[in-house]
Structures are given as structure tokens and as C-alpha cells.
Structure 1
Amino acid sequence: MPTALITGASAGLGAEFAHQLAGRGADLVLVARGADALAELASELRESHGIAVEVITADLSREADVDRVAARISDADHPVDLLINNAGFGLPLQFADNDIDDEVRHLRVHVEAPMRLMHAAIRAMRGRGGRIINVASVAGFISRSTYSACKSWLIGFSRWANGEYSRDGVSVTALCPGFTHTSFHARMGLAAGKEGVPGPMWLNAEDVVREGLRDAARGRSVSIPSLRYKVIVAASRLLPSSLTAGVARRGRV
């Protein structure tokens, strides 16, 4: 069976990736900070799908924990066929008012950790093949604080890496959803209709994950899992950044 390693696997899109991949018969390596939530999810998936599930409790803002996850990816005796960089968290949009240590931790989780894990995965997958999905955001196409900047980096690097390493059988896809019904937004007190974001702009996690897996299988470097968000991204390229940044203040994607 193929094996997928998912960071931020205990909730939100990470848990949805775990459920859908388990349903397809994939074995899993689940990574997150919460040991109890991971253990509960792993037990549920083993019982429901009869798959092998490993658990790694790790805080990806800590270098030692990232190194442990990278070592698992590099284990040639137990290869990982699909890496899903999903771990992340949000901060208020007012950069100058945020604690700088929180911003540094945010950067480590959203940029440094995925970069380190991609490095380990590409080195291990070259020649035998494999896939990487980096969960980014449509925010990466819009100028808006450090979250947008982190996701923009992830999109740009995924595009380059997909072209560079496809010749070695490795695909890299940046999955860019918009507002999605998950605990990510709930933890920030957001829901459909709040912060000026109308209900139709919200996506279902099941659809986001399903289309992301489909686009990764097709070798696409960027996956935007919604026609309406495809239109928004296309329009953002034609509008001045000052205008898109003003609109973006209304919500967090």
C-alpha cells in the first residue's frame, strides 16, 4: 500500500486528507502537536479501514521536531509516497501589533518546516517517484500581512519544484483553497457570513481535499479547488495590489 505523511493531521483539512486517503487504502503517518487527538484519529482510521497508521507528536515550530519528521520521511525501509504539508495557524492581520516571537513561529511553521520536509521528501522520492501537496491559500495571490507572504512563497516554490523534479518522477502541488469550513477558521472566531464574507464564498473540506488529490495526481503545480476562486485569482492579477489588499482586510483565508 502507498504511505502518506500528513502534517497538521489532527483536525481540519489534515484530518479530511487522512479520512479520504484511508478510504482509498493508503497507510498513514499522522503528525500534529496534540497527542490525544492524533491517537483518537489513528484508532478510528485503523478500525474503519484496516490500514496501518503511525503517529508522530511534533511541534513544527521546533527544529528538533521537524528533524524527527524529516528522518521518518527519509527512512528508505519505510518509504513515504505522498507528503502533505498542511500544518499551520493564523495570526491577526496587524503585523506591527503582533508579538514578533509569534510571527517568527508562524514563519517557521508555514515556510521553514515545509521547506525542510520537502527537501527530505524530494531526496527520498527522486527516481522512485512520489507526490507532495503543500496546503497554501488563495491568500498567497493577494498582498496581505505575513500569512499571505508565507503562502505566496509556498505557491512559488511549488511551481518551481514541480517543473524541476517532474523529470525525476516527483510532483509538487500547491493546494490553494479559499474560506473553508474547518476548525482553522473556527479557532479565529470566523464562520460563514462573518467579517463580510458571504456564505457562498465558503467551501467544504471534502471538496477541497478531493480536488487537491485529483490535481496532484494530474501533476498540476497549483490547485484552486473552486471555479469562483479561480475567477477571483485571475482578477487579482489585473488589479492594483493596493485595491486587493484593501478588500482582503475583510476576512482571513
Structure 2
Amino acid sequence: MPIALITGASSGLGTEFAHQLAERGADLVLVARSGDTLENLAGEMRDNHGISVEVLVADIVEEAGMSRVVARLADAAHPIDLLINNAGFGLPLHFADNDIDDEVRHLRIHVEAPMRLMHAALGSMRGRGGRIINVASVAAFIPRSTYAASKNWLVGFSEWANAEYSRDGVTVTALCPGFTHTGFHERMGLARGEEGIASWMWLDAGTVVREGLRDAARGKALSVPSWRYKAIVAATRILPSSLLAGAGRRGRM
């Protein structure tokens, strides 16, 4: 069976990826900092779907944790077929007021971590084939502090990598959801409804993951779930930057 490695698997879209891939019969390697949560999820996946699940407890912002995940991706005896770079966290929009060490960790998990894990995965996938999904955001197309900047980098890098390595049998897809009910905002101390975003703009995690997996299977470089967010991304191509920056100030993340 194919093997998928998911970072940030203990919650949100990471957990949803685990459920949907397990339902399809894929074996899993679950990566996150929270060992107990991962073990509980792994047990559920094994019991419900009869698949093999590895648990890899690692903080990929730290060198030791990153090295463990890189080593697993490089294991030629048990190669990874699908890498999902999903781990991440948000910070308040006001960069100048944020702790700079928090901002550096934020940059490392959203830029350095997927870059290093992609490099490791490509080393084992090229010629053999494989897929990489980088969870980015619609924020990549709207000026919105360092979160948007890091996701913009991830989208651009993914689009280039998909064109470059598809000839080697490896596709790279940047998955760009809009606001999604996952617990991401709650972990920042926001209750549902406190973000200041209209209810129609919120997406369901199951839909986001299902469309992301479908687009990755089709070899698409960019996946934007839902027609309403596709329209928003299209609009960003023509709207003035000052108007986009104003839209990006909405909400607290």
C-alpha cells in the first residue's frame, strides 16, 4: 500500500488528511509534537481501517526533530509515496508587536521546514514517483503580515517544483484553503465567530482535504478549494494592492 507522511497530524487538517487517506487504504506516518494525541489517532486508524501507522514524535522547528523526519523520508527500505507538509501555527497580524523569536519559529515552520522535507522527499521520489502537498493558504495572495508572506513563498516554490520535477514522476501541489474550521484559530485564543469573518467564508475541513487530494492526484500545482475562494484568488490578480492590504487587515490573525 502507499505510505503517506503527514506533519502536524495531531489536529486540524492533518487529522483530516489521516482519516481520508486511511479510508483509502494508505499506510501512515504521523508526525507532531504531541505523542499521546498521535498514539490515540494511530490506534483509531489501525482499529477502524486495518492499516499500518507509524508515530513519529518530533518538533520540526528544532534541529533534532527535523533530522528524525528527514531520516524517515530518506529510508529507501520503506519509501514515502505522499508527503503532506501541514504543520504550522498563526501569530497576530501586528508584526512589530510580536516577539521576534516567535516570528522566527513561525518562519521556520512555514518556510524552512517544508523546504527541507521536500528536499529529503525528492531525493527518494525522483524516478520512482510520488506526490507532495504543501498546505498553504489563500492568504498567500493577500498582504497579511508574515503568515501571508510565508505562504506566498510556499505557493511560488510549489508551482516551480511541480513544473521542474513532474518530468521525474513527482508532483507538487500547494493547497490554498480559505478560512477553515479546524481549531487553528481556537489555538490562538479565538472562539468561533471572533475572527470577524462572515459565515459564508468558512470551509469544512473534509471538503478542503478531499479537493486537495483530488487536485494532487491530477498533478495540479495549485489547489484552491471552493468556487468562492477561486473567485477571490482570481480577483487578487486585478485588484490594486492598497485594496488587498485593507482586506488583509480584517480579523486578528
TM-score in same-fold range (> 0.5): yes
| CA deviation map 1:13-41 (0-9, x unaligned) | 00000000000000000000101100110
Q: Does structure 2 conserve the Cα–Cα contact (< 8 Å) formed by 1:179 and 1:252? A: no
Match of 2:152 in 1: 152
- Where does residue 167 of structure 1 map in the other structure? 167
- Measured in 2, the distance between the counterparts of 1:193 and 1:55 equals 34
Structure 1 counterpart of 2:228, one-letter code: R
What is the number of residues matched between the two proteins? 253
The aligned amino acid for 1:182 is T
TM-score, normalising length: structure 2: 0.98
Q: Which moved more, 1:182-191 or 1:168-177?
A: 182-191
1:186 Cα deviation after fit: 1.7
- The change in CA–CA distance for 1:50 and 1:2 in structure 2 (over 3 A counts) is same
Q: Secondary structure at the match of 1:160?
A: helix
Once residues 95 and 191 of structure 1 are traced to their aligned partners in structure 2, the CA distance between those partners, rounded to angstroms, is 22
Residue 239 of structure 1: aligned partner? 239
Deviation >2 Å, runs of 4+: 188-196
Taking the aligned partners of 1:191 and 1:142, their CA distance within structure 2 comes to: 24
- Could you say which residue in structure 1 is the equivalent of 2:21? 21
**Please, what is the CA RMSD of the aligned residues?**
1.1
- Is the partner of 2:184 in helix, strand or coil? helix
Preserved CA contact (<8 Å) 1:7 1:86: yes
For the structure 1 residues 199 and 82, does the alpha-carbon distance in structure 2 shift closer, same or farther, using more than 3 Å as the test? same
Shift in Å, 1:190:
3.9
Counterpart residue number, 2:143: 143
- Residue 28 of structure 2 contacts residue 54 of structure 2 at CA under 8 Å; is this kept in 1? yes
After superposition, the C-alpha distances for 1:50-79 in whole angstroms (9 at most, x for unaligned) are 000000111111022111101100100000
How far apart, in 1, do the equivalents of 2:220 and 2:98 lie? 35
Name the CA distance, whole Å, in 2 between partners of 1:193 and 1:68.
Answer: 38
Name the structure 2 match of 1:34. Answer: 34
Which segment drifts farther, 64-73 or 79-88? 64-73
Contact residue 192 and residue 202 of structure 1 kept, 8 A: no
* Matched position secondary structure for 1:4: strand
Deviation at 1:239, TM superposition (A): 1.2
1:252 Cα deviation (Å)? Answer: 6.0
For residue 177 of structure 2, what is the aligned residue in structure 1?
A: 177
- Cα pair 2:136 2:155 within 8 Å, conserved: yes
Deviation at 1:192, TM superposition (A): 5.2
- Match for residue 129 of structure 1? 129
Q: 1:35-184 counterparts in 2 under 5 A? A: 35-184=35-184
Contact 1:45 1:51 in 2 (8 A): yes
1:57-108: CA deviation from partner (whole Å, max 9, x where unpaired): 1111102211110110010000000000000000010000000000000011
Whether the 8 Å CA contact 1:90–1:147 is kept in 2: the answer is yes
Distance 1:239 1:10 in 2: 37
CA-CA distance at 1:191 after TM superposition: 5.3
> Gaps (5+ residues) in structure 1?
none
Equivalent position SS for 2:185: helix
Q: Residue deviations 1:174-205, cap 9 Å, x none?
A: 00000001011221244554333111100000
Describe the superposition over 1:204-246 as per-residue Cα deviations: whole angstroms up to 9, x where unpaired.
Answer: 0000000000000000000000100011111111112221111
Contact 1:6 1:83 in 2 (8 A): yes
Distance 1:121 1:219 in 2: 17
Distance in 2 (alpha carbons) for counterparts of 1:240 and 1:249? 15
| Structure 2 portions without partners, runs of 5+ | none
